[in-house]
Structure 1
Amino acid sequence: MAVINQGILGGFSGKVGTVIGGSWKGIDYMRSKPISVANPRTPAQVDQRTKFVTVLNFLQPLTSILRTGFKDYAVKMSAFNAAMSYTIQNAISGIYPEYGITYADALVSRGSLTGALNPSVLVTTPGLIDFSWVDNSGTGTALATDKAMLVIYNSAKKQAVTINGGNTRASGSQEVMVPTTFTGDELNCYIAFQNENQSEVSNSTYLGEVVAL
């Protein structure tokens, strides 16, 4: 049974025949009831699910930073789902069933703010990852007060260390501590910037792979 909350012209929640109604983020919607399929595991469906799981495993440890990094693309979907869509379309490698992520093509932040200039990452001290960049304040939309967004992703363990709102653009560097369990693992690193009130973000830049000491 469906319930009409705002009269005959309003949206409804529940089921009427083969139509299901509901609301998400204040938007009323209707969709048809799924048709029963005798064999839901067609090759195309299995292929798409495998891609989905591959991307999900990559992005789940990055959820907190994706909420900021992809918020501009959270239109009728969550920021996480926007990141999922981008990654599936742009950063999947391999063929079924051996899919992987092309880390250089992935984004952890997507926006119009001026990004990092000549960023790099270095490991010289056990347990620390050193990020550095050139202060490009005043170029494009870059401001000295912009804050770094840093990601260190451990593909072997499917874990990540993320910094959302780190050192300022003017500071030019930041050290990030990683767990001792990361020692000897290959780590994929990214940098982006957000402005002071988090209303704008830059595209992230992939800095390559380092090995934790």
Structure 2
Amino acid sequence: MEFFYDRNKKKSKKAPYGRLATQQKMRLAMAFLNPLRPIINDTWKNYGDGKKTKAFGQALRKVIQDAITGDYPDQHIVPEKVMISMGTLPLPPIDDVARSTEQLEVFYGNLTHPMAKDGDELALVLINPEMGFGARNDQTCYRKDGHIEVKIPPPFKQHGFYAYLYAHNKKGTQYSKSCYLGYFEPRA
């Protein structure tokens, strides 16, 4: 008689394909968003019932659903689809982005919209997920100014970085969806 099942025989502990793909998506999303955790906690707080952990979880879910493409094991993040802020406040139209070795400058138009106020503040965010760096402009820039000029921090000069722009009201209660400005190569 031939045995086709032996309960004493050890099973191979191979992880299922779906689990590995999901774990890789989670690792990719966490690596990309983790340098921006303080910013995401503020910009997504309306979508996390005011709780920071829920806000970061919502942003993580959005990246996993929308910004990760490819099949396991060749999955990668599409930075254009990452939302580091979420809201209904309108963002001004971007006219031009200029980078020199020392600074990054963003020129934008003034949008006439019932929800847009001249006193709305704009934030420029730089991120390098491979190195774990994230930075936000420290000077206040308003919608009416027409441009943001930021000195590039030293870690970002040596390595490339992604840039995003978003707007929020003075109180920090309303936010716009973030706008991806591009990837900027390192310059000597």
TM-score class, shorter: 0.7 to 0.9
Question: In proportion to residue count, which structure has more helix?
Answer: 2
Question: In proportion to residue count, which structure has more strand?
Answer: 1
Give, as a single letter, the amino acid of the residue that structure 2 aligns with 1:107. Answer: M
Partner in structure 2 of residue 102 of structure 1 = 78
What does residue range 80-91 of structure 1 map to in structure 2 within 5 Å? Answer: 80-91=56-67
Partner in structure 2 of residue 29 of structure 1 = none
Correspondence for 1:53 among 27, 33, 58: 27
Question: 2:94·2:106 contact (CA, 8 Å) conserved in 1?
Answer: no
**Counterparts in 2 of 1:85 and 1:205: CA distance versus 1, 3 Å:** same
Aligned-partner Cα distance in 2 for 1:88–1:185: 25
Give 1:73 shift.
1.0
SS at match of 1:141: coil
Does residue 176 of the first structure (1) align with residue 147 of the second (2)? no
Question: Which stretches in structure 1 are left out of the alignment for 5+ residues?
Answer: 1-37
What does residue range 119-134 of structure 1 map to in structure 2 within 5 Å? Answer: 119-124=95-100, 126-134=101-109
Does residue 135 of the first structure (1) align with residue 110 of the second (2)? yes
Give, as a single letter, the amino acid of the residue that structure 1 aligns with 2:106. Answer: F
Question: 1:192·1:204 contact (CA, 8 Å) conserved in 2?
Answer: yes
Does residue 205 of the first structure (1) align with residue 179 of the second (2)? yes
Aligned-partner Cα distance in 2 for 1:203–1:47: 28
Question: 1:156·1:185 contact (CA, 8 Å) conserved in 2?
Answer: no
Aligned-partner Cα distance in 2 for 1:211–1:154: 11
CA-to-aligned-CA distance 1:48-97 (integer Å, 9 cap, x gap) = 11100000000000111111221121047621111000000000022212
Aligned-partner Cα distance in 2 for 1:149–1:164: 9
CA-to-aligned-CA distance 1:15-63 (integer Å, 9 cap, x gap) = xxxxxxxxxxxxxxxxxxxxxxx95932211211110000000000011
Give, as a single letter, the amino acid of the residue that structure 1 aligns with 2:67. Answer: A
Question: 2:103·2:151 contact (CA, 8 Å) conserved in 1?
Answer: yes
What does residue range 180-191 of structure 1 map to in structure 2 within 5 Å? Answer: 180-191=154-165
Higher mean displacement: 186-195 or 68-77: 68-77
Aligned-pair identity in percent equals 24
Aligned-partner Cα distance in 2 for 1:133–1:143: 15
**Counterparts in 2 of 1:80 and 1:165: CA distance versus 1, 3 Å:** farther
Partner in structure 2 of residue 153 of structure 1 = 127
TM, length-normalised to structure 2 = 0.82
Question: 1:132·1:174 contact (CA, 8 Å) conserved in 2?
Answer: yes
Aligned-partner Cα distance in 2 for 1:59–1:164: 20
What is the CA RMSD across the aligned residues, in angstroms? 2.3
Give 1:134 shift.
1.2
Does residue 63 of the first structure (1) align with residue 37 of the second (2)? yes
Question: 1:146·1:194 contact (CA, 8 Å) conserved in 2?
Answer: yes
Question: 2:165·2:178 contact (CA, 8 Å) conserved in 1?
Answer: yes
Question: 2:96·2:106 contact (CA, 8 Å) conserved in 1?
Answer: yes
